[in-house]
Amino acid sequence: MNWTAKPRLTAASGAAPAKPGPTNSSVAAPNCRVSNGLKEFLWLISDVPRCRVLDLGPVWQSTVSFFVDKGYRVSSEDLLRAWKDFLTTEEERLRTAAVGNTGEKLSPSALAEKFLQTSLQYPEQSHHGVLVWDLLDYFDPVAVPPLVDRLSRLVHPGGVVLALFHSRAAERFHRYRIVDAQTIELIPAPTLAVHAHVFQNRELLGLFEQFRSSKSFVGRDQVREAIFVK
Amino acid sequence: MWRKSNEVKPSEQPHGARSEESAKAPALQSPPLAPSSFAPTAGPAPASSNLSRIGSGLKIQGEVSGDSDLYIDGDVRGKVQLTNSRVTVGPNGRVQAEIEARQICVEGTVQGDLRASESAQLGASSRVRGNVLSPRIGVADGAQLSGKIETTKSPALETPERENHRETVGAKLESTDQ
C-alpha cells in the first residue's frame, strides 16, 4: 500500500482545510479525543462536491449537524446494532426450528452473507466517506472480510474509510460522535457486543487490500485510527 | 384505502380513532429552530382543535390525507400525506408508510421515508428505517436511524417530479439523487 499524497476526487475549487498532521495530544477532554484520523478523513473529502458520508455508528445530532452544515449528505446505519438484532433473530429462528433439524444452523460466514443481504444496501461507489469507528473489533472475525468487501464496493474511487482498532480488548464499550473537525467524543454505552478480535497490522492490510493506500495514527490510549483510501 | 376528511366527526370515526383537544395529546412541541442547533424537545401539544388521533390497538392500512394534525399511537401501513399539518408518531406507534407533513415527530417505529417541509424530529425512543428529508432535522440521543439524512432548503415538499430542483443546505443544485 502506498502512503500517498491526498488523492483528488475532483478538480473542484474551494479552500481546503489545512493539511492535517499528528498532534501531540491524543486526549482533549474527558471522553473526548483529538483525532488525527478524523482530521485526515475530513481533509480527504473536503473538496468533494455533493459529498456523501456514511456513518455506521448510531445517529447523533452533533455528527449530523457537523456534516449537514458543510453541505454534505449523511446516511446513518447502526451496523453493530443491526448485527446484534440479526443474531438475536437467528437465535430465535433456531429455537423455534423443528427439533433435530440441525441443518438450520448457519456457519459464521454464512451468517455474515445473510446479514449483508439486508444491511449495507447502498449502490456501488455511492459514498465518498465511511465512518466505521471501532465496529470491526466487535464482529466475528469471520464476518469481517465480507463486510469490508461490501464497504469497498460502496465507496467511491478516491473515497475514504475511517476505522478505529483497539490494540487490546477494549475495557468498555463506547459509541462515537463528532464534536468538531478534530475531536470525537466517546460515549460510554451499554455493551452491545463483546470485543471479538484485536487486528494486527498485517491483518488490516490484507482486509483492506482493495484500497490503494492506508495511514494510521496511534493514540496514547493505544487506539489506532486507520484511514483507507480507495 | 382510507382517506380522512378535513374535519373528522367523532361519530364517524372508527373505534380507537378520535378527535380530541390537544391538551390531552402527548405530541411533541416544535420549537423555532436553526438547522445546526436543532434539538428535539418533548412537551405538550399546542392548543389546537384540529388534532386527530389513531390510538393504540387500531390498525389502518391505506392512505391518510387531510389538513388536521395527526397523532399516531397505533399501526399504520400505506401512506400518510398531511402536507400542511404535523404528524406525531407516539411511543407505541408503528408506521410502515412514507410520511409527508409539515412537521414530523417520531417517538415510535417508522419504516418508510419521512418528508417534512418544516422540521423532522427523531425522539430518543424512535426507530426509523428510511430516509429523512427536511430543512431541519433533530435527533435525540438514543434515536435509531437506518437511512439517509438530507436537509432540503426549499420549504415546499419534494416530489419525484421536482427531484431535479432539490437544493441542499450548501445551496447546491441537485439534479439527481441516489
Mean pLDDT of chain B: 72
The nearest CA of chain A is from the CA of B108 a distance in Å of: 16
Q: Is B146 close to A82, i.e. CB distance below 8 A? A: yes
Residue whose cell numbers read 477494549: A170
Looking at residue A17, its amino acid is P
Q: Mean pLDDT, to the nearest integer, of A61-87? A: 92
Does residue B134 contact residue B119 with C-beta atoms inside 8 Å?
yes
What CATH number does domain A32-98+105-229 carry, 3.40.50, 2.40.128, 3.30.9, 3.30.70?
3.40.50
* Strand duo B136-139 + B114-122: pairing: parallel
B-chain CB neighbours of A58 within 8 Å are 143-144
pLDDT at B23: 37
The nearest CA of chain B is from the CA of A200 a distance in Å of: 30
* Strand duo B75-89 + B51-54: pairing: unpaired
Q: Using CA atoms, how far apart are residues A54 and B131, in angstroms rounded to an integer?
A: 13
Among A98-102, A193-197, B132-136, B169-173, the least confident range: B169-173
Among A44-53, A86-95, B111-120, the least confident range: A86-95
More confident residue, B178 or A224: A224
B133 Cβ partners below 8 Å, 6+ apart? B113, B114, B115, B116, B120, B150, B151, B152, B158
Which residue among A50, A69, A74 places its CB closest to the CB of B149? A74
Does residue A101 surpass a pLDDT of 60? yes
Mean pLDDT of chain A: 85
pLDDT at B161: 42
The nearest CA of chain B is from the CA of A175 a distance in Å of: 11
DSSP assignment letter at B108: S
pLDDT at A221: 81
Q: Mean pLDDT, to the nearest integer, of A3-27? A: 48
Does residue A94 surpass a pLDDT of 90? no
Kindly list the domain boundaries of chain A, sorted by start residue.
32-98+105-229
Among A90-104, A141-155, A185-199, B138-152, the least confident range: A90-104
DSSP assignment letter at B142: T
For an interface test with B, the pick among A61, A86, A115 (most B C-beta atoms closer than 10 Å) comes out as A61
Q: Is A59 close to B140, i.e. CB distance below 8 A? A: no
A106 Cβ partners below 8 Å, 6+ apart? A90, A114
Q: Mean pLDDT, to the nearest integer, of B88-102? A: 96
Q: Is A59 close to B169, i.e. CB distance below 8 A? A: no
Which residue among A71, A76, A123 places its CB closest to the CB of B169? A71
pLDDT at B112: 96
Q: Using CA atoms, how far apart are residues A74 and B98, in angstroms rounded to an integer?
A: 19
Does residue B143 surpass a pLDDT of 50? yes
pLDDT at A219: 83
Alpha helices in chain A (DSSP H): 36-45, 61-69, 79-96, 108-116, 144-154, 201-207
Among residues B94, B106, B103, the alpha carbon closest in space to that of B143 is found at: B106
DSSP assignment letter at A53: E
pLDDT at B94: 96
Which chain B residue is nearest to residue A78, measuring alpha carbons? B146
From chain A, which residues contact B within 8 Å (Cβ)? Answer: 49-50, 52, 58-61, 64-65, 68-78, 81-82, 123, 126
Q: What is the pLDDT of residues A148-191, one digit of tens each?
A: 999 999 999 999 999 999 998 888 899 999 999 999 999 999 88
Q: Mean pLDDT, to the nearest integer, of B42-68? A: 79
Q: Mean pLDDT, to the nearest integer, of A121-132? A: 94
Q: Mean pLDDT, to the nearest integer, of B18-24? A: 39
Which residue among A65, A68, A78 places its CB closest to the CB of B146? A78
Q: Is B168 close to A74, i.e. CB distance below 8 A? A: no
HSE (side-chain half, CA atoms, 13 Å) at A22: 10
Which residue among B137, B149, B174 places its CB closest to the CB of A50? B174
Map residue A153 onto helix, strand or coil. Answer: helix
pLDDT at A50: 87
Does residue B91 surpass a pLDDT of 90? yes
pLDDT at B4: 44
pLDDT at A98: 65
Which residue among B35, B141, B149 places its CB closest to the CB of A75? B149
Kindly list the domain boundaries of chain B, sorted by start residue.
10-165
Percent of the residues in chain B that have a pLDDT greater than 70, as a whole number = 58
Q: Using CA atoms, how far apart are residues B60 and B94, in angstroms rounded to an integer?
A: 10
pLDDT at B35: 46
